[in-house]
Amino acid sequence: MSNKQRIVVVGGGIAGLALSTQLGQHLGRSGKAEVTLLDRNGAHVWKPMLHTFAAGTANSYQQRISFVAQAARCSFRFLPGGMQDIDRQAREVVVSPIVSAHGEEVLGERRVGYDVLFLAAGSRANDFGTPGVGEHCFFIDDLHQAETFNDRLYADLLRTAALGEPLTIAIVGAGATGVELAAEISQLLDVASSYGAGDLRPRLTLTLIESSPRILAAFPEEVAGAAAQQLRTLGIDVRTGVRVVGADASGFELGDGSRIEASLRVWAAGVKAPEAVAGLQGFELTPTGQIKVKPSLQTTTDECVFALGDCSSLVPEGASRPLPPTAQVARQQAMHLARHVPAWLDGKPIPPFILRDLGSLVSLSRYNAFGTLGRHGLFRNRFIRGRFAQLSHALLYRLHQAELHGLGRAGLIWLSDAISATVRPRIRVD
């Protein structure tokens, strides 16, 4: 019988794919472990780009990484399917059946055994049970949802260009997702107008709705203030301190009894764990379903099960609140585990995870970007804006690509992105 450790990673997002890649290269290649990645999709995309795919200002095909190809190159195995449950007694992940778009069962329920399990299944927006939201709003939580929204936006934009119909869009939630999506839609209208569709901007009513007193509640005030001003300059109606109590086929109902009419409605507020995680038994969960972890990122109830990224909740020592669900936390947790798990398999402890705060940045399409660069380096805690902030925002994605592909291949991808940006249309045009 083989004495290889069976390592299973659930979720090939920012945290899970980086971890599978690193563990595959270090433990899979040397034959020390068999690393398996499980994901319900066939390809990875950088989630902070979803709003650009939703708006049609970036091409998702160009940014996808096929799990099968990455697995073959980096010595891990890819198993398609969604985690349905964990049988901790048998140490098996229960994988739900795969059903085709026509309703045929392609693969039945399966089970995959593990010695060590990493849960990295991400998060979803949280509608807090608000009536009508599930039926009448678009969500931008994964590529499929971003593309579904884009299809509808594209159809509405065609009607606006051809018939002069108004385009009314309302986005609930002015965190990074909502703010960046609003700016991207504005960019889409500008580029579409420059492609000869006439001046579409006067036809657009775009409302950004936020229940907190200000937008970008998780960002420093200076960043939020500058972003709000930029959005207003773009003609976006930014409404803060407004509570949405219901959604229907023509708009949102507000707490004070008034309404915001919108033919396209997006829900981008709140964060909760995906159902498959929130429904797990035998783990300590937060009220929104994230798995509580120790500083080593091991779950509080099972040393062989780790959780990282958005689906986990870690309150650092001395802090009163958990780390935020962000790309930099997910990325750094994956690299921390990739560094320390090989020694842990040989009996050494995993040191506590400490976040290196690289700051918080928000990018308003090509118009501007704002942020701070964290507590390290030359620009620590300094407010930045403009081209430098845009480049810093893009750097996190470029670092992720370098970790997945190595510097040489990542360099070629950056070059091909730069060439595409000059030779292809800047928005979806067909």
Give the shortest CB-328-to-ligand FAD separation in angstroms: 5
Nearer to ligand FAD, 51 or 426 (CB): 51
Structure tokens of 26? 């270090």
Site string for ligand FAD, 117-156 (x = CB under 6 A): ---xxx-----------------x----------------
14 binds ligand FAD (CB under 6 A): yes
Nearer to ligand FAD, 121 or 174 (CB): 121
Angstrom distance (rounded) from CA 36 to CA 122: 18
Nearer to ligand FAD, 137 or 176 (CB): 176
Give the residues across from 119 on adjacent strands: 10, 307
Of the residues 7, 9, 35, 50, which one makes contact with ligand FAD according to CB under 6 A:
50
Angstrom distance (rounded) from CA 27 to CA 75: 9
Nearer to ligand FAD, 149 or 252 (CB): 149
Give the shortest CB-406-to-ligand FAD separation in angstroms: 20
CB atoms under 10 Å from CB of 343, counted, come to 12
Listed in sequence order, the residues at least 6 apart from 67 whose beta carbon sits closer than 8 Å to its beta carbon are: 12, 17, 37, 39, 41, 42, 43, 44, 78, 80
Which of 34, 35, 43 lies closest to 12, judged by CA? 43
Structure tokens of 196? 């000869």
Residues in 401-430 that interact with ligand FAD by CB under 6 A: none
Residues in 82-121 that interact with ligand FAD by CB under 6 A: 82-83, 120-121
Structure tokens of 20? 């599978």
48 binds ligand FAD (CB under 6 A): yes
Nearer to ligand FAD, 182 or 204 (CB): 182
Total chain residues near ligand FAD (CB under 6 A): 34
Of the residues 12, 24, 289, 359, which one makes contact with ligand FAD according to CB under 6 A:
12
10 binds ligand FAD (CB under 6 A): yes
Of the residues 36, 160, 328, 372, which one makes contact with ligand FAD according to CB under 6 A:
328
Of the residues 247, 276, 293, 350, which one makes contact with ligand FAD according to CB under 6 A:
276
SS3 at position 26: helix
Listed in sequence order, the residues at least 6 apart from 305 whose beta carbon sits closer than 8 Å to its beta carbon are: 86, 88, 116, 117, 118, 119, 283, 298, 299
326 binds ligand FAD (CB under 6 A): yes
Of the residues 24, 28, 56, 274, which one makes contact with ligand FAD according to CB under 6 A:
274
Nearer to ligand FAD, 7 or 10 (CB): 10
Using CB under 6 A, which of the segments 44-52, 227-235, 282-290, 397-405 binds ligand FAD?
A: 44-52
Angstrom distance (rounded) from CA 116 to CA 304: 5
DSSP state of 112: E
Structure tokens of 10? 């659930």
Using CB under 6 A, which of the segments 174-182, 189-197, 225-233, 339-347 binds ligand FAD?
A: 174-182
238 binds ligand FAD (CB under 6 A): no
Nearer to ligand FAD, 246 or 295 (CB): 295
Nearer to ligand FAD, 121 or 389 (CB): 121
Angstrom distance (rounded) from CA 143 to CA 64: 10
Residue 11 has φ and ψ, to the nearest 5°, of: 105, 115
Give the residues across from 124 on adjacent strands: 272
DSSP state of 49: G
Using CB under 6 A, which of the segments 26-34, 303-311, 315-323, 409-417 binds ligand FAD?
A: 303-311
56 binds ligand FAD (CB under 6 A): no
The alpha carbon of 275 is separated from its chain's Cα centroid by a whole number of angstroms, namely: 16
Using CB under 6 A, which of the segments 8-16, 70-78, 99-107, 339-347 binds ligand FAD?
A: 8-16
Angstrom distance (rounded) from CA 21 to CA 331: 12
325 binds ligand FAD (CB under 6 A): yes
Structure tokens of 75? 């010595």
- DSSP for 188-200 reads HHHHHIIIII---
Angstrom distance (rounded) from CA 334 to CA 79: 20
Structure tokens of 364? 């308003």
Structure tokens of 337? 């585990």
Which positions lie near ligand FAD, rule CB under 6 A? 10-16, 38-41, 47-48, 50-51, 82-83, 120-122, 140, 176-177, 180, 274, 276, 309-311, 325-328, 330
